[in-house]
């Protein structure tokens, strides 16, 4: 079949990238919706020719599988990349190490902002103006999203508009769009029918078009005109310059194709094996008590996985709507590196549209992980010691959801507990306290939350805290633990203790 749109090889596509270009890349963790063949070809070209050099990468989510099998780690070599403008970083540890070693400049900006920025660039607007990021490390009065000391240029500004403060994220050209779908018809219309998400592919394509750049779409199959119904086109041919066919394209880098993730064939969630009782499950069970029928919910990476697990075990999953910032509505979010797709999604929309909904206050509740929390309720997940995660959707979600529940253990690194018989027994304390005097990076601003009157809860395996204007208040402790020795002595600040301190429900600690 001859396509009317030029079909080129991945290696030919890599030759379209010039020194100093900004490459907008679609994809999320685990190779989901990622044009891996294009990224790998870029690396091959660089290894062979030391060209192109000094690229800027721009991607809303974290691309990679933590093993170097896909994503931006494929490009982690001195000279190829000068700057990484990323929503999330944890999936690409080799690139993360180069950033920490000051070999690559890095801006970590909110995932929603980067995805919306692609649309703004596409429409030749000046940039994104939003409150998202105010009071966090992205705010230029704090760190401006700069992740190391060689990152100097200011990419974020404070704006005063009609008496209110906003953050301004200016537009910049995108010279190359690396995007992906499942099928291309002869005209070059792209569908995403076997993908777990469509992410910001159309936004990146529009940004490159408006910048006079080139749009290269990787697909698995080509089909005749008419085989993709107009409603199923996710990126129209008008926004595509070249097609690259990769018959080896997998839905994720973990497996070939799971039809429950594209929504083609639902799986019976009740038949998924239940999670064994553990401290992480206790946190999930306690946090899930905050769910109410009809809620629209977002779940972050890490321990919040457990909220999805317990909600599906109890059947609650059918009475609320889990969503993921990647554009997924309904179903049960998948755990691990493929975070960002769900089993049995009801709808898959673009990431930009999902973030518009989130920024507009569409979430009733959000459950997020936490690495460090301080007295004032600031939370750090983005940069902890030598763990460079990035914020992902965390800032958009936590600043805009009506209620936020942070889920995490009270201490990290080596915590061992026994859960059963209605109580918690701490067998070995974690070496690192997670409730610290000052967080090392502000991914969530407790002061901003207090200012906007947001309802915030911190759920750990042994204690539950609320957030108010004066900071954290301890409101519940686990049966079996000692308030002073196991809770207060394991925190690096003294929280207020509610006069009405309650025991966490013993059923949470019972198999
Ligand atoms: C912060 C984050 C790493 C916590 O992960 P988690 O699995 O929920 O929680 P854990 O406490 O078990 O942390 C996992 C590991 O991180 C490390 N860690 C967590 N907190 C730490 C701290 N304060 N200091 C050092 N290491 C820490 C530890 O190695 C820990 O495992 P271990 O205690 O078994 O050694 C996780 O929530 C994250 O990556 N967040 C990123 C941003 C985000 O949430 N985005 C959501 C939208 S995309």
pLDDT in tens, 58-77: 999 999 999 999 999 999 99
Evaluate: CB of 367 within 6 angstroms of ligand 1: no
Is 203's C-beta closer than 6 angstroms to any atom of ligand 1?
Answer: no
| Averaged pLDDT, 285-302 | 95
CA–centroid distance, residue 91 to ligand 1 (Å) = 13
Nearest CA to ligand 1 atom 42: 391
Whether 255 is covered by a domain: the verdict is no
Q: Which atom of ligand 1 is nearest to the CA of 111?
A: 48
Same domain, 203 and 276: no
- Are 328 and 238 within one domain? no
What pLDDT was estimated at residue 273?
76
Q: Which H or E run contains 460?
A: none
Are 311 and 449 members of one domain?
Answer: yes
For residues 416 and 325, state if they share a domain.
yes
For residue 459, how far is its CA from the centre of ligand 1 (angstroms)?
A: 14
User: Of 465, 485, 476, 468, which Cα lies nearest the Cα of 425?
Assistant: 485
Instruction: Please name the helix (run of DSSP H) or strand (run of DSSP E) that holds residue 116, with its range, or none.
Output: helix 111-122
Per-residue exposure over 411-437, b if at least 16 CB sit within 10 Å of its own CB, e if not: bbeebebebeebbbebeebbebbbbbe
pLDDT of residue 159 exceeding 70: yes
DSSP structure string for 318-364: GGSEEEETTTEESSEEPPGGGBTBEES-SEE--HHHHHHHHHTT--S
Q: How far apart are CA 412 and CA 384, in angstroms?
A: 12
Is 256 contained in some domain? no
Confidence of residue 271 (pLDDT cuts 50, 70, 90): low
Q: Tell me, yes or no, whether 329 and 361 share the same domain.
A: yes
Q: Report the share of the chain in percent with pLDDT over 70.
A: 99
* Average pLDDT of the chain, as a whole number: 96
Chosen domain end from 245, 278, 296: 245
Q: What is the DSSP letter of 285?
A: H
The answer to whether residue 1 scores a pLDDT higher than 60 is: no
Same domain, 346 and 419: yes
| Ligand 1 mean position, distance from CA 369 (Å) | 7
395, pLDDT greater than 60: yes
Rounded mean pLDDT, 154-167: 97
| 133 occurs within a structural domain | yes
CA atoms within 13 A on the CB side of 367: 30
CA of 381 from ligand 1 middle (Å) equals 7
Residues 241 and 273 in one domain: no
Ligand 1 atom 8, closest CA: 302
The answer for residues whose C-beta is within 8 angstroms of residue 122's C-beta and 6 or more apart is 203, 205, 206, 207, 209, 210
| Ligand 1 binding pocket mutation candidate from 412, 441, 458 (most atoms within 8 A of CB) | 412
pLDDT in tens, 421-470: 999 999 999 999 999 999 999 999 999 999 999 999 999 999 999 999 89
SS (H, E, C) 140-170: CCCCCCECCCCCCCCCCEEEEECCEEEEEEE
In the chain, the number of structural domains is 2
Residue closest by Cα to atom 21 of ligand 1: 371
Q: Does the beta carbon of 240 lie inside 6 Å of ligand 1?
A: no
Task: State the distance from the centre of ligand 1 to the C-alpha of 373, rounded, in angstroms.
Answer: 12
Residue 253 within a domain: no
Q: Which of 212, 245, 278 is the last residue of a domain?
A: 245
Q: Which atom of ligand 1 is nearest to the CA of 412?
A: 33
Res. 234: pLDDT tops 60: yes
Ligand 1 midpoint to CA 423 (Å): 24
Q: Do 240 and 345 fall into the same domain? A: no
| pLDDT interval class at 308 (50, 70, 90) | confident
Determine the distance separating the centroid of ligand 1 and the alpha carbon of 32, expressed in angstroms: 22
Q: Which distant-in-sequence residues (6+ apart) come within 8 Å of 145 by Cβ? A: 107, 108, 109, 133, 137, 138, 155, 156
Whether omega before 52 lies within 30 degrees of 0, making that bond cis, reads: yes
Cα angle 72-78-79, degrees, rounded to a multiple of 5: 100
In this structure, are residues 222 and 183 in contact, taking their beta carbons and an 8 Å threshold? yes
Q: Is the CB of 284 under 6 A from ligand 1?
A: no
Pocket test for ligand 1, best of 355, 395, 413, 426 (most atoms within 8 A of CB): 413
Q: Whole-angstrom Cα distance, residue 59 to residue 23?
A: 9
How would residue 332 be classed by pLDDT, with cut points 50, 70 and 90?
Answer: confident
Task: Out of 210, 245, 280, pick the residue that ends a domain.
Answer: 245
DSSP, collapsed to helix, strand or coil, labels residue 435 as strand
Residue located nearest, by CA, to atom 35 of ligand 1: 413
Interatomic CA distance for residues 7 and 342, integer angstroms:
32
Domain-embedded: residue 263: no
Q: Does some domain include residue 221?
A: yes
pLDDT at 340 over 60: yes
pLDDT confidence band for 2 (50 / 70 / 90): low
d(CA 377, CA 508): 25
Give the Cα separation of 419 and 34 in Å (integer).
40
- pLDDT given for residue 259 in this prediction: 97
Domain ranges, residue 496: 269-509
Q: Assess whether 223 and 297 both reside in one domain.
A: no
Instruction: Confirm or reject: Cβ of 416 under 6 Å from ligand 1.
Output: no
- pLDDT for residue 335: 84
Q: Judge residue 494's burial from the number of C-beta atoms within 10 Å of its C-beta, 0-12 exposed, 13-18 middle, 19 or more buried.
A: exposed
Q: Is residue 382 within 8 Å of residue 301, measured between CB atoms? A: no
Mean pLDDT of 92-109: 97
**How many beta carbons lie within 10 A of that of residue 184, not counting itself?**
27
Same domain, 432 and 292: yes
The CATH number linked to 213 is 3.40.1080.10
Using the atom order of ligand 1, give the atom closest to the CA of residue 372: 23
Q: Are residues 220 and 278 in the same domain?
A: no
Are 99 and 163 found together in one domain?
A: yes
4 in a structural domain: no
**Does residue 54 register a pLDDT over 80?**
yes
For the Cβ of 436 lying below 6 angstroms from any atom of ligand 1, the answer is no
For ligand 1, whether the C-beta of 129 sits within 6 Å is: no
Tens digits of residue pLDDT in 164-204? 999 999 999 999 999 999 999 999 999 999 999 999 999 99
Q: Is the CB of 333 under 6 A from ligand 1?
A: no
pLDDT of residue 270: 64
Does ligand 1 come within 6 angstroms of the Cβ of 393? yes
Instruction: Note whether residue 376 is domain-resident.
Output: yes
In ligand 1, the atom with minimum distance to the C-alpha of 434 is 23
Q: What angle do CA 84, 85, 91 make, to 5 degrees?
A: 70
Q: Would you name the residues annotated as active-site residues?
A: 325
Residue 287 has pLDDT above 90, yes or no: yes
State if residue 408 touches ligand 1 by the CB under 6 angstroms criterion: yes
Contact (Cβ atoms closer than 8 angstroms) between residue 366 and residue 297: yes
Q: Is 412 in the pocket of ligand 1 (CB under 6 A)?
A: yes
């Amino acid at each position: 079949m001859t396509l009317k749109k030029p079909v080129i090889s991945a290696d030919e596509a890599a030759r379209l990238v010039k020194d100093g270009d900004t490459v907008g890349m679609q994809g999320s963790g685990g190779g989901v919706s990622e044009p891996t063949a294009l990224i790998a070809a870029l690396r091959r070209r660089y290894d062979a020719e030391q060209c192109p050099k000094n690229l800027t990468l721009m991607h809303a989510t974290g691309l990679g599988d933590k093993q170097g099998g896909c994503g931006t780690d494929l490009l982690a070599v001195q000279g190829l990349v000068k700057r990484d403008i990323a929503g999330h970083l944890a999936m690409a540890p080799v690139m993360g190490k180069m950033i920490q070693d000051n070999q690559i400049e890095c801006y970590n900006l909110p995932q929603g902002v980067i995805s919306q920025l692609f649309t703004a660039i596409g429409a030749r607007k000046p940039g994104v103006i939003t409150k998202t990021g105010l009071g966090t490390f992205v705010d230029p009065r704090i760190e401006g999203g700069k992740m190391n000391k060689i990152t100097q240029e200011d990419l974020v500004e404070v704006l005063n508009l009609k008496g209110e403060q906003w953050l301004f994220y200016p537009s910049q050209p995108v010279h190359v769009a690396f995007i992906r779908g499942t099928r291309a018809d002869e005209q070059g219309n792209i569908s995403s029918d076997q993908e777990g998400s469509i992410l910001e592919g159309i936004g990146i394509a529009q940004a490159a078009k408006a910048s006079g750049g080139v749009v290269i779409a990787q697909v698995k199959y080509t089909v005749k005109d008419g085989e993709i119904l107009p409603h199923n086109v996710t990126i129209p041919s008008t926004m595509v310059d070249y097609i690259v066919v990769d018959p080896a394209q997998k839905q994720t880098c973990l497996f070939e194709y799971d039809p429950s993730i594209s929504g083609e064939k639902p799986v019976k969630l009740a038949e998924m094996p239940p999670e064994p009782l553990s401290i992480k499950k206790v946190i999930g069970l306690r946090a899930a008590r905050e769910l109410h029928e009809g809620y629209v919910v977002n779940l972050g990476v890490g321990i919040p996985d457990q909220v999805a697990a317990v909600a599906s075990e109890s059947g609650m999953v059918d009475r609320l709507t889990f969503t993921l910032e990647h554009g997924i509505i309904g179903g049960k979010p998948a755990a691990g590196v493929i975070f960002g797709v769900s089993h049995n999604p009801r709808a898959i929309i673009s990431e930009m549209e999902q973030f518009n909904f989130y920024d507009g206050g569409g979430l009733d509740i959000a459950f997020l992980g936490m690495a460090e929390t301080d007295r004032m309720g600031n939370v750090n997940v983005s940069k902890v010691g030598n763990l460079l995660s990035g914020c992902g959707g965390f800032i958009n979600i936590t600043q805009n959801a009506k209620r936020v529940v942070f889920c995490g253990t009270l201490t990290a690194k080596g915590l061992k507990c026994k859960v059963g018989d209605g109580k918690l027994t701490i067998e070995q304390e974690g070496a690192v306290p997670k409730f610290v005097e000052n967080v090392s990076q502000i991914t969530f601003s407790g002061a901003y939350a207090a200012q906007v009157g947001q309802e915030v809860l911190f759920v750990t395996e042994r204690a539950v805290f609320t957030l108010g204007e004066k900071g954290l208040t301890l409101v519940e402790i686990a049966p079996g633990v000692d308030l002073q020795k196991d809770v207060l002595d394991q925190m690096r600040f003294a929280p207020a203790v509610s006069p009405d301190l309650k025991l966490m429900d013993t059923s949470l600690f019972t198999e």
